[in-house]
Structure 1
Amino acid sequence: MDEQLDFAPCGYVSLNDESTILDINKTLLGLLDYKLQELQGQHINLILTHASQTFYQLYFFPMIRLQEKVDAMYIALKTKSGQEIPILLNASRNKRGGKFFNDCACFPMKERYEYEQALLAAKKETDQRNQMKKKQIEELGMLRNELECKQNELLELNEKLRTLAETDGLTGLKNRRCLQESLTLNLNSQAGQLQPISLLLMDIDYFKEINDTYGHMTGDRVLQEMGQLLEEESRKEDIAARYGGEEFALILPNTDKSDALKIAERIRLHVEKANWGKSAITISIGAATLQPGDTESSLQSKADNALYASKNGGRNQVTHASDLT
């Protein structure tokens, strides 16, 4: 303890959370007629009157833990000879070296009446608190259970909202916004690594004619079944999404050009051979594989160009961006 604090015009004592006296200045030692070695390491109760011990446990300790400070608390100290000294106590809770300290400044009171009145009021309130303790514990338990239920309901609602925010309502696949985020995440996670990433963009051939001929309800059913087909053809790590309208996309992590073309061709054949009811359905597919310097935007642009090449080349075929001149 530095000399200024040691001889400050008020008492100072520092306690840990077990109410053990860690340090005390000479001003307070002189007031209590103790030596440092007699108090250091002792419980604070050694220098508290009996009534103040109860007051300390019920008010001071909970308040310092909850509010991290105590302002203008009236309490009584006991000297070595047993003399009672009323004081005004201010305290703050501080962290030093990873440990908490409860630092207290003690001001001897000139007016004792106010202290005694506060102590009597504290005793009365203590009696009332003891009577209400069981009821408060029960109410606290009920509130805790209610809070846990509300928290669980909120977590479930947040999960539902998150799912709705990233899911296409018609097909159940991821929506385009989620696709963009997933593509960005995959590209960032693979930055500087050797694992390839491929992207497939797919478009249902002559979809407008399906809507015009059989109606939009049939068109919606085709989109739903196409979404289910893509889910069935996707691997666990793949991300299938509705890109927009009759267009779909498939992110293929850890997939090079050769494997991307195999997957795309398998999907194309599955669509071609599937039973669509009134009309045969085919798709055109554009594929692109990440190259050094590519971004999510450039990768999508390459796949889009490959898709247009498939459609312009007669539809119902697969084209890889790297094969375009």
Structure 2
Amino acid sequence: MTTTRKSKAQSNMQNYSLDSFPCGALVTNSSRVITYVNAYFTTELFWQPEALIGKSTDVIFTKSSKIFFQSYLIPTLLHEKTCEEMQLIIFNAQGRRIPVTVNAHLGDDGCIYWSFFNASKRDQLYNELLKTRETLEEQAEELKLFASTDELTELLNRREMKYRSILVLEQAARSHQSVGLLMLDIDYFKKVNDNFGHLEGDRVLKELGQKLKAFCRQTDLVARFGGEEFLIMLPDTDKVNVLLFCERLHQLIADITVDNKPLTVSIGASICDDKISFTDFYAQADNAVYKAKKLGRNRTEVYEAD
């Protein structure tokens, strides 16, 4: 009874074939000549056995894979007897390049036993993952941009302006450079909204933002700080150049018209050549712009300590 069962088991094992496995099985001798291929090479790669048996492995590998095969795979096999999950590219019988994952084992008989797994879907998935990552990175950049800019004017928003200004002030203190801070407040802006509507008000804000962005240097910080209030930080700029800059600003802004009348702004300026916090620097510019409005608007006033 036991002998009968054992015979049946042995018979079933003998019926197993490498042709049944969903991967390529290949054997090469010590000279790297192909001595065996299973049916996978015919059914999936369209190679007839006679086109491969007795031929060098060069017949199936691409040029880059041949180099990798000779320079890495063979030395590794000779040293460690095995290689796992190597990524290569082979040709099918029609000349199509097929990415494969290769495992190999060096037998005691000197032959190398190879298994080839088609990695086309893996590569496709990998490429899709790369595209997804690129999309996510682009979306992250957009979110970062939205979080740091004012939607209407495309200038820096209040939070980003404060953050970057602190860095500029710290750098200026280390380098002993003068920094200017300008606060611009549109004169009688409430009347623009009341008399001509908020769309007109938005148009004025947007146009002013565009002019400021185009006029300032790349190193300058320009922000819509709230409502009709704009801030400009001018690194490495002394009082003389701050005043010259403000004079040109008034001329530039006058090109914007509301009801055929030039737009005007009141500017408060503060200049610092020593260590100062952004809060104190902002307060100085705010005091200066209040003074400009009190003295008649459409003018620049510089903060002077009492």
Name the TM tier (shorter chain). Answer: 0.5 to 0.7
1:245 corresponds to which letter in structure 2?
A: G
CA–CA separation in structure 1 for the residues paired with 2:186 and 2:289: 11
Give CA deviations for 1:5-55 in whole Å, capped at 9, x if unaligned: xxxxxxxxxxxxxxxxxxxxxxxxxxxxxxxxxxxxxx998999xxxx4xx
CA–CA separation in structure 2 for the residues paired with 1:228 and 1:200: 17
| Other structure's SS at 1:255 match | coil
| Other structure's SS at 1:284 match | strand
Please say if residues 170 and 275 of structure 2, whose CA atoms lie closer than 8 Å, have aligned partners that are also in contact: no
Give the structure 2 partner of residue 208 of structure 1: 190
2:274 corresponds to which letter in structure 1?
A: P
Give the structure 2 partner of residue 239 of structure 1: 221
TM-score by length of 1: 0.58
Give the structure 2 partner of residue 261 of structure 1: 243
Q: 1:1-325 residue pairs with structure 2 within 5 A?
A: 53=81, 56-58=82-84, 130=115, 133=117, 135=118, 137-322=119-304, 325=306
CA–CA separation in structure 2 for the residues paired with 1:185 and 1:236: 16
Give CA deviations for 1:178-234 in whole Å, capped at 9, x if unaligned: 111110111122232122111100000111111111111111111111112212321
Q: What's the offset of the Cα at 1:155?
A: 1.4
Give CA deviations for 1:275-320 in whole Å, capped at 9, x if unaligned: 3344432100001112423111111111111111111111111011
Give the structure 1 partner of residue 14 of structure 2: none
Give CA deviations for 1:227-257 in whole Å, capped at 9, x if unaligned: 1221232122212110100101111111111
Between the two proteins, what is the percent identity of the paired residues?
36
| Other structure's SS at 2:224 match | strand
CA–CA separation in structure 1 for the residues paired with 2:191 and 2:154: 24
2:161 corresponds to which letter in structure 1?
A: L
Please say if residues 178 and 271 of structure 2, whose CA atoms lie closer than 8 Å, have aligned partners that are also in contact: yes
2:166 corresponds to which letter in structure 1?
A: T
1:212 corresponds to which letter in structure 2?
A: D
Give CA deviations for 1:80-111 in whole Å, capped at 9, x if unaligned: xxxxxxxxxxxxxxxxxxxxxxxxxxxxxxxx
| Other structure's SS at 1:251 match | strand
| Other structure's SS at 1:169 match | coil
1:295 corresponds to which letter in structure 2?
A: S
Give CA deviations for 1:141-198 in whole Å, capped at 9, x if unaligned: 2122112111211111111111111111111111111111110111122232122111
| Other structure's SS at 2:176 match | coil
CA–CA separation in structure 1 for the residues paired with 2:79 and 2:145: 62
| Other structure's SS at 1:190 match | helix
Give CA deviations for 1:128-153 in whole Å, capped at 9, x if unaligned: x82x51x1x22222122112111211
Q: What's the offset of the Cα at 1:57?
A: 3.7
| Other structure's SS at 1:263 match | helix
From the superposition, tell whether residues 277 and 139 of structure 1 become closer, same or farther in structure 2 (CA, over 3 Å): same
Give CA deviations for 1:63-89 in whole Å, capped at 9, x if unaligned: xxxxxxxxxxxxxxx9xxxxxxxxxxx
1:244 corresponds to which letter in structure 2?
A: G
CA–CA separation in structure 2 for the residues paired with 1:238 and 1:158: 25
From the superposition, tell whether residues 209 and 155 of structure 1 become closer, same or farther in structure 2 (CA, over 3 Å): same
Structure 2 unaligned regions, length at least 5:
1-74, 87-107
CA–CA separation in structure 1 for the residues paired with 2:255 and 2:270: 25
TM-score by length of 2: 0.62
CA–CA separation in structure 1 for the residues paired with 2:123 and 2:78: 35
| Other structure's SS at 1:191 match | helix
Structure 1 unaligned regions, length at least 5:
1-42, 62-77, 79-125
CA–CA separation in structure 2 for the residues paired with 1:141 and 1:47: 29
What is the total number of aligned residue pairs between the two structures?
212
From the superposition, tell whether residues 44 and 151 of structure 1 become closer, same or farther in structure 2 (CA, over 3 Å): closer
1:145 corresponds to which letter in structure 2?
A: N
